[in-house]
Each structure stands twice: as C-alpha cells, then as structure tokens.
C-alpha cells in the first residue's frame, strides 16, 4: 500500500500524481505491498502540512521514526537517565476527568499543589511521579521510555503504537471513555442507498481521478482498515475539528471519527453503516515492557493498580444486601436462599446469628439470622421482593467499594506476556477466598 503524508493538494489528479511520484521513496526498504492508492492530505493548512526539501513531511508516529532513523528508530532512542518511575495521565478533556475520578474512587489521590503544574504524585504510591500530558504524548513517551506506564484511550493507543512490542496493555477495560471509531456516511445524495461497507467499497465513483475522500484524525488506523477491506482508491484528509461538517461542505465524502451516542452524526445528516464500526475504545492502562522487566518496583505498582481497578470495577456492579431471616438453623436459611433465583450471591450467602434482649430477659437471646448476599444493581429490586417473600425483613442495602479476588486474571496474563513466573509474583495467600468491603 503506497502512502503520501501531509501535503496539501488542490485536486484529485494531483493526489494521484504526488502519490505515484513519492511512492518509491516511501516504499523503500519495505516488502512488496498491494498496489492500492491510499493518500493522505490536509483540509486545513498547518505547519506539518508544509513541504520540506521537496518531500512531504511525515506526520504519523511510525513515519516520524522511519523518517528519522529508519526501521527500529524508536527502539534505538535512549531516554535520559532518571531515578524515579513515571506514570502519564491525560491532561485535558473528558478522558482526564474520568481518569481522575477512577483514581479517586480507588482511594488513590493525585496531589498537585499548583493546577498549572505538569507533575504530581500519588501519596499512596511513593516513588511514582505523575506527569500530565496530551493523550497522544502519553503514548509517544511510553514508546520512547520517558514514562513507564500511562492511561490512554484504546483509539489513541492503536493509532500511535502500530503494534510496537515494547508497549504492553495491563488493563484493557477501565470502564470509562466508552465510544467506538466508525465511518460516518451521508444519508442523502449518492450515499442514500449505501448501508454497508461492501456497498461503499463497490461504488463506481471511486477511481484514480476521483478517490473516496475520508476526513479523519486516525490516519494509521484508517490506512490499515481500508487496505484490509480492499479499497483501492482512498484519500485520507486531516482537519482540526468539526469533521462532521466536511461532507456537507463538499470537502470530503465521508468521515471516520469517534462516536459515542451518534447524536452528532444524525444532527449533521450522517449515519453509520454495517461493517463500518472499526474499533471499540475506552480507557486502558499500558506500560513499557522494558521498564516492567528492569524495575521490579514498577511491577509491584502495576500489580496494585490492577488489583485496585479490578476490585473497584467489579464492586461497582453490586450492592451488599443484608436481611433478617427466620429459620431453625443457618443451614436451613442458606438452603432457602440458594434455591431462590437471584439470591445466591457471588459464592453463596453468609449467615450469622442475630441477638437481642427483651426488657424481661437478663441475657441476649437469638431470634433471627442475618443473611448477607451480593446482588447485581440491575437486579436489586427483584432480589428485595424475593427476600420479602421468603420472610426476610429489615432489608439493608449498601454500596460496595471493592471486591478483591485471590489474584486478578489480568495480572497473571501480564506476567505470562512478560515471560515471568506467576508463582514468584503472587500475593502468596494460597487460598481462593475473595474479600468484599
């Protein structure tokens, strides 16, 4: 697949001529690729769109590295020596807010005395510096080794890493920033009857002189996607915001952008098509492989983060429900709950004696059993009604902060990815009991 990056052009014909003239230089040193025309250009003139020395300026992470030092450039880069471990967090936008909320919910307070500072710390994790960066820079500096771990969106990670083996996903579902990267196609005109990716690809309109014009901020993902699905004539355009307006203005045919609710697409007369959902995205925790292997203390920090995140995210799905139950024995009450749908809890109910003392009695007497179960939030009301039908009373409902398992599966998977023995890096508790708080 031949590419030309970053040049501002004025016509479809110049797109093709520039692509063909630049193809040998771009393709040099790479294996033979399908002869698909995928060109990149810009809708707005920016510094990176200028031409340098008669050649288009590279503007993707992979191309920056290739342009500078050839293959393996990122691996050859040596970060400045430092004694501290660093974590990169997004500095602006909804992703930044959601990241801070998650850390706060996990009892990890980010301490930054001055809101204008870029560096902070987490008192609960001594020795870890927190650096606030643009999401794209978090990924770049992870690749360079200037930071050791970070929180970013799946979309930015996939766009800028390009399969870099030195980056490892430690937690792939932090539960915030959910959206998806998708194509937005006009509802009217020549696209009125286009409802699938195959129909879009097979439209006779796309030729070397009139390629499909796609405006997006995700050129690397788009390039791979269109090549995979057999598109032969595509132009990738850049724009600084307001992508949804480009088709109506006539400056692009379709868009490729993040979609959350789809409202913005519909309000701009655009729709998604079958097969056009490219990537599901949310917040993820990623780390530099070399840093993990070189610093055992970083591994311990990642272990703690995974446990905190997993424990909290799991607990968010449940309520702790306590009800007074009548019965002849704890076993009888347990059997009653275990045979009722939705009242089994995570691993079964916990049954305890309930004592009280009447004015006439001198000693506390046992009258009820307290049954404690975990109930999914969506099933709470049905569970309460079921308890009442079984004679339950005084039902208490409490939120849950953490549900800790014996060892998170994500931690075990990370150790396997790093080639480390899980037996040497576990909690050492040797049991299968979880704890809920």
Taking residues 121-134, what's their average pLDDT?
95
pLDDT at 212 over 80: yes
Percentage above 70 pLDDT, the chain = 79
Q: Distance (Å, rounded) from C-alpha 28 to C-alpha 30? A: 6
Task: Give yes or no on whether 80-177+282-314 and 318-399 have one common fold.
Answer: no
pLDDT at 27 over 60: no
Topology, domain 318-399: Alpha-Beta Plaits (3.30.70)
Check residue 40 and give its pLDDT: 52
Distance of CA 342 to the CA centre of its chain: 31
Residue of 341 and 29 predicted with greater confidence? 341
Instruction: Look up residue 183 and give its two tokens.
Output: 């194509």
Segment 39-59, tens digit of pLDDT:
555 444 333 333 222 223 233
Check residue 116 and give its pLDDT: 80
Residue of 69 and 307 predicted with greater confidence? 307
Domain 12-59+181-267 classification at class level: alpha beta
CATH 3.40.190.10 at 80-177+282-314, yes or no: yes
Average pLDDT over the chain reads 82
Taking residues 416-425, what's their average pLDDT?
89
Confidence of residue 431 (pLDDT cuts 50, 70, 90): very low
Segment 351-384, tens digit of pLDDT:
999 988 777 777 777 778 999 999 999 999 999 9
Segment 290-330, tens digit of pLDDT:
999 999 999 999 999 999 999 999 999 999 999 999 988 99
SS3 assignment for 216-279: ECCHHHHHHHHHHCCCCEEEEEECCCCHHHHHHHCCCCEEEEEECCCHHHHHCCEECCECCEEE
Check residue 312 and give its pLDDT: 96
Q: Where are the domains of the chain?
A: 12-59+181-267, 80-177+282-314, 318-399
Check residue 198 and give its pLDDT: 97
pLDDT at 385 over 70: yes
User: Residues 163-198, buried b or exposed e (16+ Cβ, 10 A)?
Assistant: ebebbbbbbebbbbbebbbbbbbbeeeebeebbebe
Give the Å distances, CA to CA, from 186 to 14, 253, 273, 291.
Answer: 25, 8, 10, 46
Residue of 214 and 30 predicted with greater confidence? 214
pLDDT at 349 over 90: yes
């Amino acid at each position: 697949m031949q590419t030309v990056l970053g040049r501002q052009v004025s016509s479809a014909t110049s797109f093709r001529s520039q692509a063909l003239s630049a193809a040998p230089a771009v393709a040099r040193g790479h294996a033979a690729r399908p002869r698909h025309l995928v060109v990149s250009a810009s809708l707005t003139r920016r510094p990176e769109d200028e031409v340098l020395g008669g050649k288009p300026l590279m503007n993707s992470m992979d191309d920056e590295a290739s342009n500078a030092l050839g293959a393996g450039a990122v691996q050859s880069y040596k970060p400045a020596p430092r004694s501290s471990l660093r974590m990169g967090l997004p500095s602006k936008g909804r992703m930044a807010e959601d990241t801070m909320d998650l850390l706060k919910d996990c009892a990890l307070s980010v301490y930054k005395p001055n809101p204008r500072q870029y560096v902070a710390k987490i008192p609960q994790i001594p020795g870890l510096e927190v650096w606030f960066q643009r999401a794209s820079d978090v990924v770049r500096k992870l690749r360079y080794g200037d930071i050791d771990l970070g929180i970013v969106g799946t979309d930015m990670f996939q766009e800028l890493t390009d399969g870099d083996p030195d980056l490892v996903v430690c937690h792939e579902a932090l539960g915030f920033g959910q959206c998806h990267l998708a194509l937005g196609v006009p509802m009217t005109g020549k696209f009125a009857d286009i409802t699938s990716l195959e129909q879009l690809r097979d439209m006779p309109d796309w030729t070397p002189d009139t390629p499909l014009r796609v405006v997006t901020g995700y050129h690397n993902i788009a390039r791979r996607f269109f090549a995979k699905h057999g598109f032969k004539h595509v132009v990738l355009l850049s724009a600084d915001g307001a992508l949804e307006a480009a088709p109506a203005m006539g400056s692009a045919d379709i868009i490729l952008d993040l979609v959350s609710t789809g409202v913005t697409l519909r309000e701009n007369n655009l729709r998604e098509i079958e097969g056009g959902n490219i990537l599901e995205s949310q917040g993820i925790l990623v780390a530099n492989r070399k840093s993990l292997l070189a610093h055992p203390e970083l591994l311990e920090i990642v272990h703690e983060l995974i446990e905190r995140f997993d424990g909290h995210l799991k607990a968010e799905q449940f309520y702790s429900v306590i009800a007074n139950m009548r019965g002849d024995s704890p076993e009888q009450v347990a059997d009653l709950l275990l045979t009722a749908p939705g009242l089994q809890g995570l691993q079964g109910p916990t049954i305890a004696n309930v004592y009280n003392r009447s004015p006439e009695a001198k000693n506390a007497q046992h009258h009820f059993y307290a049954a404690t179960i975990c109930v999914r939030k969506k099933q709470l009301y049905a569970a309460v009604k079921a308890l009442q039908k079984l004679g339950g009373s005084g039902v208490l409902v409490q939120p849950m902060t953490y549900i800790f398992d014996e060892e998170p599966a994500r931690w075990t998977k990370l150790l396997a990815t790093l080639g480390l023995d899980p037996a040497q890096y576990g909690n050492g508790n040797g049991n299968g009991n979880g704890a809920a708080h």
